[in-house]
Amino acid sequence: MSNQATLSGLSCRKPHFILVPLAAQGHIIPMVDLARLLAERGARVSLVTSPVNAARNKGIINRVMESGLPVHFVELQFPCIEAGLPEGCENMDLLPSNDHLKTFFDALSLLREPLARYVQAQRPRPTCMITDSSCPWAADVARELGMPRFIFHGPSCFVMVSFILMQLHGIYDRITDDFEPILIPGLPQPIEVTKAQAPGFFNLPGWERLRSEVLQAELTADGVVMNTFDDLEHSFIELYKKVTGKNVCAVGPLSLCNKDLDDKAGRGDKSSIDHRRVQSWLDSRKPKSVLYVNFGSIARLRPCQLIEIGCGLEASNQPFIWVIKDVEKTPEVDKWLSEGFEERVSTRGLAIKGWAPQMVILSHPAIGGFITHCGWNSTLEAVSVGVPMITWPYFADQFLNEKLIVDVLGIGVAIGVKLPIFYFSEDGPPAAKRDDIERAISRLMDNGEEGEERRKRAKELAEKAVRAMEGGGSSTENIAYLIRYALEHGKKDSEEEEHNA
Ligand code: UDP
């Protein structure tokens, strides 16, 4: 048998996954991790992206390439101009305003034909697709080609099942007041929210079609993949299975697949600061003494809010690393930072302006707390390394994640924000003032019984997270299940193709 034939025979036995993330940092990053995990278990993976997103993720893409794993990054041209978006607007965090959100999802759906052409052209034929739940057009491609298909849910299982229960029990239709406190029906413990805090996905006038396509894509999927782990969300995973009848593959915390410092540093975008500099800054601090502050990739904080945060951090007297996004760095903020603040806190504070190497920071033993917007990736990344949190949600799933962190898991202190701020809002006072921030920090970092208990619970969860990702762990087993499923349900197609070729 020639080398070529041997390779061809081997590749035929390998499942080939097509991964389609939503074009947002909080969805691309975990999918890249998932691609690596599948490839490490012997699968071939094609991850669909676009030129701007591939350039931003170049660091981690290069690391994957160098590792020799069979992961291929497929760049489809993003149809910005055709859809009416500014050129280069290929990621949710690049949108100029809330008004562009709908156009962004319309643009994404135009990728359906190019994706179908790509998948059809592959030999041997891809065996399984994992598509983000917000990309039902990608699910259509799998359906048309008769491929097994899983939906990837970016949020926690707790959030997904809560939204479904609220829908099933008619909360969204029945309750007219967005700010009326309601108990989520059917959960194992009482959790109170308002509709404004738990709005469901795409549950807005004008979004009906996308919402129905998203629900349909999930209903007809072979199962769902979630970035969570059984020991963290067991009761919600079981409830989700019961309510939807769907198989759930909990495969997280995906961030833990990044063992090497350079892998951790390369996630999502090029860090605006050398990660070795951050590392050595942290090395000089006492264990669990530093507070890390980062609000993820999408929420945009106004100058007045940033100044309140700065004053709260200064008043707290704690060492801190504070991340301010490029888009937030207005002349007003820059002036405030440079005219006194940075100098006053220079011995104990580090302000990172731009993209931060979050996993490098969070996994350092000097980190003792995290002020987070409760995006699910940030939440799970903190859980995976045992860091308790100050919860400061902005929108979407974040208020429910706060409930999970504070009320269910007992590893967080709520800053006390009750009203969502969607994406960017131009007016109103800061959601939390310097005193609220200082108070929450002193509660979280406190060495008394309450703080110790919280730290203990966070540490136990981190140990369980690591076990889930080890050999024989629940998440590792679920990755193995995905590979088996793809082989069993997609293999015949590949063989036929190979045979006919
Ligand atoms: N992130 C990062 N550096 C930053 C900001 C964000 O590495 O400066 C990563 C973070 O580790 C997480 C993702 O970006 O993996 C943000 O996802 P999340 O779900 O927390 O929030 P979103 O950005 O979707 O609101």
Q: Confirm or reject: Cβ of 29 under 6 Å from ligand 1.
A: yes
| Fold (topology level) of 270-464 | Rossmann fold (3.40.50)
Closest CA to ligand 1's atom 10: 378
Output phi, psi for 224, to 5 deg: -120, 145
Output phi, psi for 75, to 5 deg: -95, 110
- Residue 360 to residue 290: CA distance in whole angstroms: 13
Q: What is the pLDDT of residue 360?
A: 97
Q: Does the domain made of 3-251+471-500 have the CATH classification 3.40.50.2000? A: yes
Q: Confirm or reject: Cβ of 298 under 6 Å from ligand 1.
A: yes
Q: What is the pLDDT of residue 428?
A: 77
- 207 close to 187: Cβ distance less than 8 angstroms: no
| Closest-CA residue to 46 (of 67, 25, 24, 76) | 76
- 156 close to 404: Cβ distance less than 8 angstroms: yes
Neighbours of 214 (CB within 10 A): 20
Query: Treating both helix axes as pointing N-terminal to C-terminal, what angle do 376-384 and 449-469 enclose, rounded to 10 degrees?
Result: 90
Secondary structure class of 375 (helix, strand, coil): coil
Q: What is the pLDDT of residue 10?
A: 40
Q: Confirm or reject: Cβ of 57 under 6 Å from ligand 1.
A: no
- 322 close to 351: Cβ distance less than 8 angstroms: yes
Determine the atom of ligand 1 nearest the C-alpha atom of 299: 25
The DSSP 8-state label assigned to residue 255 in this structure reads G
- 377 CA from centroid of ligand 1 (Å): 6
CA atoms within 13 A on the CB side of 174: 7
- The one-letter amino acid code at 355 reads W
- Residue 363 to residue 377: CA distance in whole angstroms: 14
Q: For residue range 270-311, list pLDDT tens digits in order.
A: 999 999 999 999 999 999 999 999 999 999 999 999 999 999
- 4 CA from centroid of ligand 1 (Å): 42
- 96 CA from centroid of ligand 1 (Å): 19
Any long-range contacts for 326-330 (C-beta under 8 Å, 24+ apart)? 326/272, 326/353, 326/354, 326/355, 327/300, 328/300, 328/301, 328/303, 329/353, 330/303
Its pTM surpasses 0.85: yes
Token pair of 221 as six digits: 């999927």
CA angle 170, 173, 176 (to 5 degrees): 125
471 conformational bin, left if phi > 0, alpha if psi -120 to 50, beta if neither: beta
- 185 CA from centroid of ligand 1 (Å): 30
- 30 CA from centroid of ligand 1 (Å): 10
In three-state form (DSSP H/G/I as H, E/B as E, the rest C), the secondary structure along 152-179 is EECCCHHHHHHHHHHHHCCHHHHCCCCC
Q: Confirm or reject: Cβ of 105 under 6 Å from ligand 1.
A: no
- 327 close to 298: Cβ distance less than 8 angstroms: no
Q: Confirm or reject: Cβ of 268 under 6 Å from ligand 1.
A: yes
| Closest-CA residue to 415 (of 443, 375, 387, 395) | 443
Q: For residue range 6-39, list pLDDT tens digits in order.
A: 333 444 578 999 999 999 999 999 999 999 999 9
Q: What is the pLDDT of residue 497?
A: 53
Determine the atom of ligand 1 nearest the C-alpha atom of 356: 8
From 261, 329, 358, the mutation candidate for ligand 1 (largest count of ligand atoms within 8 A of CB) is 358
Tell me if 3-251+471-500 shares its fold with 270-464. Answer: yes
Output phi, psi for 46, to 5 deg: -115, 120
The domain spans of the chain are 3-251+471-500, 270-464
Closest CA to ligand 1's atom 6: 296
- Below-70 pLDDT ranges, the chain: 1-12, 423-426, 491-501
- 360 CA from centroid of ligand 1 (Å): 13
